[in-house]
Amino acid sequence: METAIPLIMMVLFFAFMLFIIRNQLGVKTFEEYATGNRSFGFMALTFSVLSTWCTGSMYTAWAGMTIQYGYVGIYVVAYATISLLTMYFVAPKTYVWGIKYKIATQPELMGFRYQSKTLRVLFSIWGIVFTVPWLIIEIVTQGIVFSYVTGGTINQFWGMVLGITIVSIYVFLGGMKSVVTANVFQGIVMIFG
């Protein structure tokens, strides 16, 4: 009975995530998939950043480091402030270039800015190399969360498989529109829930 309420909430949450992509199916172009036709407003992007960055960093990595080392908790505030200010000043320019020159990814942006195909390829490789460890941490964390929430009914391995499957479905089927829509919901739950 102890695990019933968290398990029910988890199932409802994932059902809602899958409901979100219902209207996002049928993405026809890569640009539409990668940018959602640039249709996101300020609030959508704010909640998207909050839900992905805060939960991804605070709950996955920095919470344990803060407990173990202490100072990391203070570092997070400075890091977040600098990152968000940088985004505030850079985002409008990249948005304009994205529309004008049909730029959909960061490697395309860097390749265009410096007129270098080599830099574009390097940014693509760096993006993969630096993202893979983070994804591994998030996948392992999903497994731990599933195991904890279900009281061990779903072990860590099958929790990882379940998490990967659900996230893959709404990312692959709906592109950035489904991701941002899901993140807005997650951000609202995180801030107000």
66-111: pLDDT as tens digits: 666 666 666 666 777 777 787 778 878 888 888 888 888 889 988 9
pLDDT of 4-58, one tens digit each?
777 787 778 777 777 766 665 566 777 777 777 777 777 777 777 777 777 666 6
Is the CB of residue 120 less than 8 Å from the CB of residue 107? yes
Q: Which pLDDT score is estimated for 19?
A: 75
Q: Which pLDDT score is estimated for 157?
A: 95
**CA–CA distance from 101 to each of 31, 61, 109, 173 (Å)?**
12, 37, 9, 26
- Angle subtended at Cα 19 by Cα 164 and Cα 95, rounded to the nearest 5 degrees: 80
Q: Which pLDDT score is estimated for 160?
A: 92
Q: DSSP class of residue 51?
A: I
